[in-house]
Amino acid sequence: MQLVVGRIGRAHGVRGDLFVEPFTDEPDNRFADGAVLETSDGQQVTVATSKWHSGRLVIHFVGVEDRTVAEGLRGLELTLDVDPDELPEDPDEYYDHQLVGMDVVCDGQVIGVISEIIHLPAQDLIAVKRDGLDEALIPFVSEFVPDVDVANKRMTITPPPGLLNEADAIVIREDDNAEV
């Protein structure tokens, strides 16, 4: 099973070092010296060294010896082969493959199926495919996702008004003069 563990950013310096945005809570393990990863364009890369610089992960891959070669890798996702039965150490963490295909339940009703997990710098989003409706994007935070049942492939959500249905949204107009 392929697990997306990061995305390559811009080059750092002239010797081929690259910033990497980790998509894992275990970056020191996933990007350890000697780790073999695959890029989204099918290349295999081996971590020569990794270090933290000003709070950002910097990696040097074997064979990437100058800035020009490094810039050619920019934007590629990094994946790692993992056992499909492997689980994260923290019980409140999940791998994408555990969530994709899971039923999403709101107010006791199945509203759709998770089609994708979107990793953003601030937080992850859950893309929910709904029959006959637009895809819904749910912030993957405990306030909106109180329960994830991996064994039964069900996620319970409690979205705020308007997140799933525009008719439920709170509308504020310029002519509303209500005082708080």
Mean pLDDT by 10 residues, the chain (180 residues): 89 96 87 95 96 95 96 95 77 85 94 91 89 89 93 93 64 47
Give pLDDT, residue 78.
Answer: 96
pTM attached to this predicted model: 0.65
Outline where DSSP puts E strands in 62-108: 77-81, 103-106
Buried/exposed 121-138: b ≥16 CB within 10 Å, e otherwise: eeebbbbbeeeeeeebeb
Q: Could you tell me if 64 and 32 lie in one domain?
A: yes
Query: The tokens of 117 are what?
Result: 């997990």
Give pLDDT, residue 166.
Answer: 53
> Domain range spanning residue 58?
2-81
Instruction: Look at strands 103-106 and 154-156 and give their pairing.
Output: parallel
Domain assignment present for 63: yes
Residue 8 CA, distance from chain mean position: 14
Give pLDDT, residue 154.
Answer: 97
Give pLDDT, residue 20.
Answer: 96
Q: Could you tell me if 7 and 65 lie in one domain?
A: yes
CATH code for the domain in which residue 129 is found: 2.30.30.240
Domain boundary among 17, 47, 81: 81
Give pLDDT, residue 170.
Answer: 45
Pick from 163, 179, 177: nearest CA to 104: 163
